[in-house]
A and B are shown apart, each in its own frame.
Chain A
Amino acid sequence: MSFLDSFFNKKRPATSSNVARDRLQILLAHERQAQAGGDSTLLRTLHAEILEVLARHVSVDEDNVRVKLDRGQKCSKLEIDIQVPQSGLRAQVSTVTPNDEL
């Protein structure tokens, strides 16, 4: 398609206004996310409490827990990304349920 587009000269010309629009779209996408994440008390609380629950069962590094909130018009998305080290999981699980095959 890009070949056809360029053939028919349909590609957006590199005018300064197009550059302005592209820059704004990229910048605002970032800033809107930061703004939504600006609900920092909620996120900090979630982060701390998730860590607390996890710490009872597995050992995770604080830096390996990421909590992200995307605010949308109709619905928001809460993303929780936890990296659990293999060793941490095995060691802890075996002590909690020693007789289990898990």
Chain B
Amino acid sequence: MAKIVVVTSGKGGVGKTTTTAALGAALARSGQNVAVVDFDVGLRNLDLIMGVERRVVFDLINVIQGEATLTQALIRDKRCETLSILPASQTRDKDALTADGVARVMQELQERFDWILCDSPAGIERGAQLAMHHADHAVIVTNPEVSSVRDSDRIIGMLDSQTARAKQGETVEKHLLVTRYDPSRAARGEMLSVEDVVGILSLPLLGVVPESEDVLKASNVGAPVTLASPESAPAAAYFEAVERLKGKDIPVNIPTEKRGLFDRIFKKRGS
């Protein structure tokens, strides 16, 4: 049975779509059959980040409304043949996303894939609720910043009360992914540290993705960072995260400050 993973955060702009693309590609690279599904109806972007924006013919809403089959709507990635994307609709109203329709699509996807990654829209409205509803796992993407941590806490509350699993008395397995982390600012006390965020949200850590130029470069060219620059620090964090998602117990690599001897001698640690 396929595992359904929701990538969620509450707050916008923290890296949900980047993370969905990067984790999806990393999972697919390891030989798994993966579908990434964009739930952001009206503001789709997963297609653009994955570089398939010009190949979109049908979308999730078309499938839900019976205007296209799942096979017609799924776009297979050209770089990685076990990776497919189901885009969201750009023109339709988000009310077109129905609970029954989503349930049907999820069931059909589960028959064909090993992993289904749902890219949640920002917010706590219907779109976000439907994206998380069927999830077995949740990746909570959080920036080390007060508003992001607060919104993540809210989303955690929703995962514990409003998902299908929660309603059956089970739990969604939650994982924390800290993104846009700047170890030197954290060391100077200018940014919440990973320990702070983990302590406040009390979730197991899936990974720490450092702030990096490589992420923007990858989105510029329309490739998940794990495919565009697999040797980069953010890609390494995503590859590790995937191993943990698969159940491997490996220690989390927390990026540390890279400072030369000169800096260490002459730069005082400010506050």
Q: A residues touching B (Cβ–Cβ < 8 Å)?
A: 13-18, 20-21, 23-25, 27-28, 31-32, 35
Contact = CB atoms under 8 A, between A and B. Distances in A.
The B contact surface, by secondary structure, is helix
Contact of A24 (B157, B191, B193, B200): B200
A73 to B, nearest CB: 9
B196 A17 contact: yes
Given A24-B150, A32-B153, A13 B192 contact: no
Interface in B136-194: 145-146, 149-150, 153-154, 157, 186, 188-193
A14 B271 contact: yes
A35 B161 CA distance: 10
Contact of B271 (A13, A27, A31): A13
Interface string B60-88: 00000000000000000000000000000
A92 to B, nearest CB: 40
Contacts of B150: 24, 27-28, 31
A18 B191 CA distance: 9
Given A24-B146, A25-B200, A17 B153 contact: no
A21 B196 contact: yes
Interface of B: 145-146, 149-150, 153-154, 157, 186, 188-193, 196, 199-200, 271
A24 B271 CA distance: 19
The A contact surface, by secondary structure, is helix
Given A24-B149, A28-B150, 14 more contacts: A13-B189, A15-B271, A17-B191, A17-B192, A17-B196, A18-B189, A21-B196, A21-B200, A27-B150, A28-B149, A28-B200, A31-B150, A31-B154, A35-B154
Contact of B192 (A21, A27, A28): A21
